[in-house]
Structure 1
Amino acid sequence: MITETHLKKTFSSFKIRNYRFLWTSDCLQAWAEYMELVVLSWLILEMSSSPLLVGLYGALRFMGTIMSPAFGVIVDRFDRKLLLILVRGSFVLNGLVILAITLLGTLDTIVILVMAGLLGLSKTFDMVIRQSILPAVVGDKNLNNGVALARAGGDVTQMIGPVVGGIVLAFLNVKVSYGIIVALYFISLLCAINIGNISPNQSLRDLNVLNNLKAGVRFVNQTPVIAALLALAVIINLATFPIYFGLISVLAKEVFDSTSTGLGFMMGTYSLGAVLGSLFAGGRDSSGRIGRFAIGGAFLWSVAIILLALVPSFIISLPALFIGGLGQSICVVSIAMMLLSLTPDNLRGRVMGLRQLAVYSLPLGLLISGTIAEILGVRVAILVDGLLGVLLVTVCFMVWPDILKAGAIRERMES
């Protein structure tokens, strides 16, 4: 039974003014991104009928991760609010360029791919900033709750964005869709501007990227649980995230013969599971269990992907997508909680930069999945991803068994 005390605990971070503005800005940003993902993925499929190009589009959206260590050094040194405003402004600019090209009637796959690559740089920088700024906004006491609510907010918009994007694209047109996307990016920027001052981390004076990257890597080597969490992040980006960011659109169109509205509902169902997973992770007493949540969520996610490869129809795919979203959020929220709580404030930017570097395996996963889908079909590609996820997660906790005791390790560090 959900009590008033449990509800207050679950939503406690909303008492903080800066967090409310940051959370709203993040949600609007995510809403625009997920709308954009549906609209452009569908347009590429209609223009080219190529799963490989859809995979390439998804990969380019994350190619900026190669720069994440450098972004982490910058975030550890400069005013994080100013950086957040600048990067959110770059999303507005990117959207305006695509909208202008669309209005001129010259939007094609080349333009979409080029702009996706530019967006990838902004997206990576934004992720490093938002993850590093969160502890400064909510404090250590509310950190786990702040992480979970931030993820839940992203999941809600991940649920709404694809549905709205699919419906608007199906019943109106791409111009209206992009007008809405740009408006959401702009309001997100305004919310970021209204966040109070967040002081820079003055402990970092040396801007030499290599020296600071070495400091971050040294900390990871000295903390095996951090190494395990980063390895798990690589695994899920390689084997499980390609479903949402590429293959699901191919499954909807080529296997289920669905419309963009159907794709939106498939992605929305996945995201509904993700919302509940985030709230579950954020509302639990994670002491001693959070490492198990990370591994268990990854297993659940991978098994759901295997089921998705085997389902015979659109309707039956929805429960598998829901379970996949649930496992995704339990896993991802648990990883974020542990990385932030086990990392000292003066190293958070660099460690989260390494965390974003793990996302570099996502473009690789998307290209591999897209190639398999092109040659052998999308069902085979999805099945391979699910089986690979189960195998690699098993290897991860066998190599780093301490990940299952991550919560207890955190308690020892705090005592």
Structure 2
Amino acid sequence: FAGELADRHRKRTVLLITQSSFVLPPLALFALTATGQSQYWEIILAAVATGTINALDVPCRQAFQVEMVGKQDLLNAIALNSSVFNASAVIGPSIAGVLIALVGVPICFLINSVSYLAAIAALLLMRNLPAQTRHRDEEPLRARLARGAAYARDEPVVGMLLIVVAVFSLFAMNRTTLMPLFADQVLHVGAHGFGFLLASMGLGSLTGALTLAFFPHLGANPRRQLWMAGIWIAALLEFSASRIFAISLVTLFVAGYCQISFIAAANSRIQSLTPDHLRGRVMALYAEALIGVGPLGATQAGALATLFGAPWALAIGAVLAGAVVLAVRLLRPEVFGQPRKTSSTEATASAGTSQRSART
């Protein structure tokens, strides 16, 4: 549904609504915590509200990138966005910890709420955006929603990349679930070591994002993307087997680098192949594959860790993800083969033109 909104309405307008809505949940939490009236159910309600807004925001925000910079610089934009996100993931918790110690939790909620004003101002200041193409389809909503899924099914590269991203999200991106167990029960480094583990992976992701930002041709190479997937899996397996803290930090750095390199390349390739009028709906599927599968991944990782321990849980997930990548490489070699010069839509149009020329 969020993808349909992005395809039928001006994306900047949708984003202005979602970013303005993001102001409210943390502002409410600020008021509740500042007055000492916060209760558990209110925190859950704020989390649900934030998640609902995010479900509407993410597909539109992803599809909006190509309107801001064009397909030529799309990978740069995705990489820079990822670098900002990962830099925030490394720096943000440290700043929050200092602020909580100095001024308390309520001020953190207030700062979070006010921070969205910067995004709103940036959206309002944007100029020279491409004109919105109006598609007045008379199809029912269900049929319009199905068109995005049908395109992903019929375009093998897009469909397979969505599957691989979902599999990695399910089995190989459960750091918040497993990392505390590694820090406490496997490496025995405590809370400080846990922070270093997360920082190492975040720094690797930041380095990978900046590499793609400065060298975008690397991300456009499907064979490099396959290598990044393989090295990512190998790094996770090495981390699961490591009992030496320094080696674990290095392997997490490598895993973070490869993770962001693979995900950013998948994002760019999917958006480049998808027609403009379907991009919102396809990016909604991408958001579901990358983010929506996460809770299921955390559940299975927690269950496996309970049964077999954190190292086995991570190793099993990495092997399953690697098996899917290998199957895609063998069954659909074009996914990680030579870059395609035309999308399926362009190829269809070209074929139609050739047939008309032949008849005339």
Fold match (TM-score > 0.5):
yes
How many angstroms apart in 1 are the aligned matches of 2:201 and 2:218? 28
Q: RMSD in angstroms over aligned alpha carbons?
A: 2.9
Structure 2 residue 285 is matched with structure 1 residue 364:
no
Alpha-carbon spacing, 1:115–1:378, altered in 2? closer, same or farther (3 Å): farther
SS of the aligned residue for 1:196 comes to coil
Aligned match of 1:154? 85
Is the CA contact (8 Å cut-off) linking 1:275 and 1:326 kept in structure 2?
yes
How many angstroms apart in 1 are the aligned matches of 2:8 and 2:328? 33
Structure 2 residue 286 is matched with structure 1 residue 351:
no
How many angstroms apart in 2 are the aligned matches of 1:293 and 1:95? 41
SS of the aligned residue for 2:135 comes to coil
How many angstroms apart in 2 are the aligned matches of 1:264 and 1:110? 29
Q: CA offset at residue 274 of structure 1? A: 1.0
Q: CA offset at residue 113 of structure 1? A: 4.1
Deviations 1:353-397 (A, max 9, x none): 121222332221111112233444333322322222222222222
Q: CA offset at residue 341 of structure 1? A: 0.9
How many angstroms apart in 2 are the aligned matches of 1:184 and 1:350? 28
Aligned match of 1:318? 249
Larger radius of gyration: 2
Structure 2 residue 87 is matched with structure 1 residue 132:
no
Aligned match of 2:30? 99
Alpha-carbon spacing, 1:307–1:170, altered in 2? closer, same or farther (3 Å): farther
Deviations 1:247-287 (A, max 9, x none): 3244345554533x654443222121112212323444638
Aligned match of 1:280? 211
Alpha-carbon spacing, 1:108–1:370, altered in 2? closer, same or farther (3 Å): farther
Is the CA contact (8 Å cut-off) linking 1:81 and 1:197 kept in structure 2?
no
After superposing the two structures, state which structure 1 stretch, 308-317 or 150-159, moved more. 308-317
Aligned match of 1:79? 10
Which residue, out of 187, 193, 197, partners 1:266?
197
TM-score (norm 2): 0.84
Amino acid at match of 1:135: V
Deviations 1:187-244 (A, max 9, x none): 333333333374434125457331112222232233211111111111111112222x
Aligned match of 1:403? 335
Structure 2 residue 168 is matched with structure 1 residue 218:
no
Which residue, out of 208, 218, 242, partners 2:140?
208
Deviations 1:315-352 (A, max 9, x none): 44321221111011110111011011111111111111
Is the CA contact (8 Å cut-off) linking 2:212 and 2:219 kept in structure 1?
no
Deviations 1:123-173 (A, max 9, x none): 222211111111111123222222222222222222222333345456764
Structure 2: segments with no counterpart, 5+ residues: 351-360
Structure 2 residue 323 is matched with structure 1 residue 391:
yes
Alpha-carbon spacing, 1:73–1:396, altered in 2? closer, same or farther (3 Å): same
State how 1:287-298 maps to structure 2 within 5 Å.
290-298=221-229
Structure 2 residue 273 is matched with structure 1 residue 342:
yes
Alpha-carbon spacing, 1:151–1:120, altered in 2? closer, same or farther (3 Å): same
Is the CA contact (8 Å cut-off) linking 1:204 and 1:346 kept in structure 2?
no
Amino acid at match of 1:221: R
Amino acid at match of 1:182: S
Structure 1: segments with no counterpart, 5+ residues: 1-69
How many angstroms apart in 2 are the aligned matches of 1:89 and 1:410? 38
How many angstroms apart in 2 are the aligned matches of 1:379 and 1:305? 10
Is the CA contact (8 Å cut-off) linking 1:76 and 1:200 kept in structure 2?
no
Structure 2 residue 241 is matched with structure 1 residue 302:
no
State how 1:188-267 maps to structure 2 within 5 Å.
188-196=119-127, 198=129, 199-206=131-138, 208-243=140-175, 245-252=176-183, 255=186, 256-259=188-191, 262-267=193-198
Alpha-carbon spacing, 1:287–1:326, altered in 2? closer, same or farther (3 Å): closer
How many angstroms apart in 1 are the aligned matches of 2:307 and 2:102? 33
Amino acid at match of 1:210: R
